[in-house]
């Protein structure tokens, strides 16, 4: 049976643009994984890896115009947004190159023998090594930063692992172009093309997670798809780590004092955050607790005005558009749910932003209103009107894990008065990033960043953004009583590589 063709599709019209490739057969997936496995040795030298990552960033910048044009044709995200995302992607690659150069990610620890310890300590030398071939599943909503050359790929390569990417069907032509650019950068450093494999098709993604030479996987997408792959990774004869980002409501709590103090600003800020990128951000605020009464009414009015002035937009594909329209309609039919600005279909290929309101009491116990506690991808949020602090606590106690949680406090509460500290304590168990008087959209690529959270936000405790994302793709190894001549150079006393390390209990920089 012939493989199904892979088409590039214009989301603005729903029409096919060009045939890009064919869906990969099991044999082609196997060939891609084996080529990646064979490329492992080419990444062994840290200096070569760092130079490769920098060259990849340089080459992406050279190809910027063609890449952005192709990305816009497949995603309708616009040249400005896509240009910024490509810049972020290049920054990530260079940031990981700097991490590779520094070497602290190897986590070198050396203990000389100590017979006076209880029990005695033998000669022990520990560092981290790459896992092997990493499977990366691209995201729809970030065609650069969470795709072929995105954070999962960059961090895996930085750790010394070759990668096989399962391309997202929403931007297959872009995926092919980016893969060519990265391979061109690899060739400049004597690294074979197999270091970055690319496959298309749903079945190819299933075959990839099952392949015995795949050592770990990274995923960004839906709860349903991510959970299926997570289960497959765990069900293998040799289970592998699966670092998945699956879904998040990103709750926001607005205190009564904050709403009284700056209702208009909070409403406007919320509108901007929930409609940014047509609501297609994984950190979109999807559930907002707002007080009942005059203060909350003012916030809702501000939100209404701002969202009403926001144009309809194009989602990444028509399947997402259909799901969005059906999802908001199903939610709007629930008892006591109102639509101050009705979200749904815009034009033939667009959607209009909006928001729903519901009394907090409707979410106090299990029932049909639990649908409001599930992420709805697109430009919509749910405003939950609460009567008192007890209702806030009740709703928060029913939320699953999230990438972010935000509290909007008054000036006095932010200074330590009132309920601010208690609210932070309530939301911290729910999320990996906690914000005060800000909005969660926008995830800085920084050393201190954490982009993850309790399940189902992610399937592990690690981050997919920032320098520590590299830790996902490594494992520690200890050498005991090993002669110096047989030790990896990173673990020898002389430290000729100048690595940061802990040497007999002392941190050396």
Q: Annotated catalytic sites, by residue? A: 245, 282
Coil, helix or strand at residue 200: coil
Name the token pair of 495: 């430290």
Phi, psi (deg, nearest 5) at residue 259: -65, -35
Do the Cβ atoms of 40 and 130 come closer than 8 Å? yes
Q: How far is CA 30 from CA 211, 237, 332, 499, in A?
A: 7, 17, 47, 37
Coil, helix or strand at residue 8: strand
Check residue 206 and report its DSSP letter.
H
Closest alpha carbon to 5 in 18, 70, 166, 317: 18
Measured in residues, the chain has a length of 509
Q: What distance in Å separates the CA atoms of residue 81 and residue 122, rounded to the nearest whole number? A: 55
Q: What distance in Å separates the CA atoms of residue 385 and residue 340, rounded to the nearest whole number? A: 13
Residue located via tokens 């199903």: 330
Q: How many CB atoms lie within 10 A of CB 489?
A: 10
Do the Cβ atoms of 330 and 371 come closer than 8 Å? yes
Check residue 121 and report its DSSP letter.
B
Do the Cβ atoms of 161 and 131 come closer than 8 Å? yes
Q: How far is CA 312 from CA 185, 349, 354, in A?
A: 39, 10, 10
Do the Cβ atoms of 289 and 296 come closer than 8 Å? no
Closest alpha carbon to 110 in 122, 93, 126, 89: 126
Contact partners, residue 121, CB within 8 Å, separation at least 6? 111, 113, 114
Do the Cβ atoms of 383 and 336 come closer than 8 Å? no
Q: How far is CA 226 from CA 49, 143, 220, 406, 462, in A?
A: 30, 18, 7, 25, 16
Residue located via tokens 């209404």: 304
Closest alpha carbon to 246 in 210, 264, 229, 221: 221
Which stretches of 342-492 are DSSP H helices? 389-396, 411-414, 420-427
């Amino acid at each position: 049976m012939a493989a199904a063709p892979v088409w590039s599709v214009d989301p603005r019209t729903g029409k096919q643009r060009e045939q890009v490739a064919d869906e990969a057969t099991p044999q082609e997936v196997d060939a891609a994984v084996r080529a990646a496995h064979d490329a492992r040795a080419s990444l062994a030298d840290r200096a070569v890896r760092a130079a490769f990552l920098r060259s990849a960033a340089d080459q992406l910048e050279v190809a910027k115009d063609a890449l952005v044009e192709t990305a816009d044709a497949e995603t309708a995200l616009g040249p400005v947004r896509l240009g910024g995302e490509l810049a972020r992607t290049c920054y990530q690659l260079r940031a990981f190159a700097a991490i590779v150069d520094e070497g602290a990610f190897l986590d070198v620890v050396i203990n000389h023998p100590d017979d006076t310890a209880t029990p005695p300590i033998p000669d022990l030398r520990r560092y981290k090594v790459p896992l092997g071939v990493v499977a990366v599943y691209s995201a729809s909503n970030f065609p650069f930063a969470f795709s072929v050359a995105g954070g999962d790929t960059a961090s895996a390569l930085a750790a010394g692992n070759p990668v096989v990417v399962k391309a997202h069907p929403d931007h297959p032509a872009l995926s092919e172009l980016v893969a060519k650019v990265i391979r061109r950068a690899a060739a400049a450093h004597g690294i074979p093309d197999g270091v970055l494999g690319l496959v298309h098709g749903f079945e190819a993604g299933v075959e990839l997670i099952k392949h015995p030479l795949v050592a770990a996987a990274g995923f960004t997408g839906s709860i349903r798809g991510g959970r299926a792959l997570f289960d497959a990774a765990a069900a293998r004869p040799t289970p592998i780590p699966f670092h998945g980002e699956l879904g998040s409501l990103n709750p926001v709590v607005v205190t009564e004092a904050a709403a009284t103090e700056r209702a208009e600003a909070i409403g406007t800020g919320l509108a901007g955050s929930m409609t940014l990128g047509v609501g297609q951000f994984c950190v979109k605020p999807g559930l907002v607790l707002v007080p009942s009464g005059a203060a909350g009414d003012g916030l809702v009015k501000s939100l209404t005005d701002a969202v009403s002035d926001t144009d309809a937009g194009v989602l990444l594909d028509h399947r997402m558009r259909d799901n969005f329209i059906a999802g908001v309609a199903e939610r709007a039919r629930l008892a006591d749910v109102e639509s101050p600005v009705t979200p749904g279909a815009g034009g033939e290929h667009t959607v209009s932003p909006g928001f729903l309101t519901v009394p907090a009491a409707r979410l106090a116990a299990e029932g049909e209103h639990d649908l409001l506690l599930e992420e709805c991808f697109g430009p919509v949020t749910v405003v939950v009107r609460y009567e008192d602090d007890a209702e806030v606590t009740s709703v928060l106690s029913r939320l699953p894990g999230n990438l972010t949680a935000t509290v909007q406090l008054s000036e006095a509460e932010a200074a330590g008065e009132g309920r601010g500290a208690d609210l932070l304590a309530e939301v911290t168990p729910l999320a990996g990033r906690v914000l005060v008087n800000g909005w969660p959209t926008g995830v800085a690529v920084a050393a201190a960043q954490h982009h993850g959270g309790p399940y189902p936000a992610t399937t592990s405790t690690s981050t997919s953004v920032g320098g520590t994302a590299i830790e996902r793709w490594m494992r520690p190894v200890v050498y005991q009583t090993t002669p110096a001549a047989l030790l990896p150079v990173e673990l020898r006393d002389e430290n000729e590589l100048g690595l940061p390390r802990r040497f007999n209990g002392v941190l050396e920089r």
